[in-house]
Amino acid sequence: MARDGRGRRLGLSLGLLLALALAPRALLAKPTVRKERVVRPDSELGERPPEDNQSFQYDHEAFLGKEDSKTFDQLTPDESKERLGKIVDRIDNDGDGFVTTEELKTWIKRVQKRYIFDNVAKVWKDYDRDKDDKISWEEYKQATYGYYLGNPAEFQDSSDHHTFRKMLPRDERRFKAADLDGDLTATREEFTAFLHPEEFEHMKEIVVLETLEDIDKNGDGFVDQDEYIADMFSHEENGPEPDWVLSEREQFNEFRDLNKDGKLDKDEIRHWILPQDYDHAQAEARHLVYESDKNKDEKLTKEEILENWNMFVGSQATNYGEDLTKNHDEL
């Protein structure tokens, strides 16, 4: 399952990620920098350290959505501010000239829903081969794994063979979990649950199980501290561990390993990646208000937002965004 740079789980299946990249042959790269699986709640926003331009990517994606944040990365500062001003007018639902935490929360939730909707719509036509507005498991399997299934000899002597053999039954298991009526055919709602299981209550166990399978390299059914760290970071042999790795080891001991047996079971993994009573949109909205509220009245004027514009949106001056591959409508 893919994840973003600050830990929100992106629910694309392993098979779909491969299919979108395809290429008959797939290369899976191991991360060399910090990777997180969840957005951690800030215990106190006031204790959050100041952020620099390089760390604003998560804020940009939460506020704009992943694709539109790339668009802003290509703009000049003046163009970014102009577009941001238009967005602020849309966020201010009651037109009182202020943006509240609740209005920001509503906007962020809307952006996330739009990302999910757009993602499903983007891939739907590639998998609904008979155009009946449903996607059967066979349609998905053939579209994603058809080349592998039809040409197995090409993969016998490669790491891709093991990858495909692992991914196919995993995708099938997730597809069946999303298929509530058990007919092996997904409606749009069911296919959305397949692609984005973290958004659906009945898919949470699959999210936990896939996380365990991803990290549990020795196959004992648990995640020990070294496996926990290896999932986030890999470094050259005998190289020093960054300070944040030492901090993560302390996090593991103090907050992740609840029963103090030196490893994480499924319940502890669930507590880690799917924290109860934690609203990501609320936390991000509170963070943006806290960082931009100069007069500390717990709401933002357009001027306060524009003054801190580079936290909300990017530009050529503050980000090193990827080249755009297509045009986007102006927000």
What is the residue-wise DSSP string for 182-193? -SSEE-HHHHHH
Enumerate the β-bridge partners of residue 98: 301
Question: What is the reported pLDDT for 258?
Answer: 97
Longest CA span, the chain: 67
Rg, the chain, Cα only: 22
Question: What is the reported pLDDT for 116?
Answer: 92
Tokens of residue 138, six digits? 């066979």
Question: What is the reported pLDDT for 88?
Answer: 95
Cα–chain center distance at 141: 24
Question: What is the reported pLDDT for 37?
Answer: 58
Enumerate the β-bridge partners of residue 224: 263
User: Which uninterrupted H or E stretch holds 171?
Assistant: helix 159-178
DSSP-derived secondary structure letter, 45 = G
Q: Is the pLDDT of residue 21 over 50?
A: no
Q: Identify whether 163 is part of a domain.
A: yes
Amino acid, single-letter form, for residue 298 = E
Q: How far apart are CA 2 and CA 37, in angstroms?
A: 9
Q: How far apart are CA 315 and CA 73, in angstroms?
A: 4
Q: Identify whether 60 is part of a domain.
A: no
Q: Identify whether 258 is part of a domain.
A: no
| Mean model confidence pLDDT for the chain | 81
Q: Identify whether 150 is part of a domain.
A: yes
Out of 102-116, 156-170, 188-202, least confident range: 156-170
Residue 285 confidence class, pLDDT cut points 50, 70, 90:
very high
Question: What is the reported pLDDT for 286?
Answer: 94
DSSP-derived secondary structure letter, 10 = E
Q: Identify whether 200 is part of a domain.
A: yes
Judge residue 103's burial from the number of C-beta atoms within 10 Å of its C-beta, 0-12 exposed, 13-18 middle, 19 or more buried: buried
Q: How many Cα atoms within 13 Å fall on the side-chain side of residue 247? A: 4
Judge residue 267's burial from the number of C-beta atoms within 10 Å of its C-beta, 0-12 exposed, 13-18 middle, 19 or more buried: exposed
In the chain, the number of structural domains is: 1
Out of 129-138, 161-170, 187-196, 200-209, least confident range: 161-170
Helix ranges, 26-100 (H): 57-64, 66-73, 77-91
Q: Identify whether 255 is part of a domain.
A: no
Cα–chain center distance at 104: 19
Q: Which of the pair, 303 or 64, is modelled with greater confidence?
A: 303
Judge residue 95's burial from the number of C-beta atoms within 10 Å of its C-beta, 0-12 exposed, 13-18 middle, 19 or more buried: exposed
Q: What is the mean pLDDT of residues 112-129?
A: 93
Tokens of residue 1, six digits? 């399952």
Cα–chain center distance at 31: 15
Q: Identify whether 230 is part of a domain.
A: no
Q: What is the mean pLDDT of residues 262-290?
A: 93
Q: Identify whether 231 is part of a domain.
A: no
User: Which uninterrupted H or E stretch holds 77?
Assistant: helix 77-91
Tell whether pTM > 0.95.
no
Q: How far apart are CA 127 and CA 124, in angstroms?
A: 6
> How far apart are the two ends of the chain, measured CA to CA in Å?
29
131 in the Ramachandran plot: left (φ > 0), alpha (ψ -120 to 50) or beta? left
Residue 90 confidence class, pLDDT cut points 50, 70, 90:
very high
3-state SS, residue 150: helix
Question: What is the reported pLDDT for 246?
Answer: 92
Question: What is the reported pLDDT for 55?
Answer: 58
- Phi first, then psi: what are they for 257, rounded to 5°? -85, 85
Could you list the residue range(s) of the whole structural domain that residue 209 is in?
A: 73-222+265-314
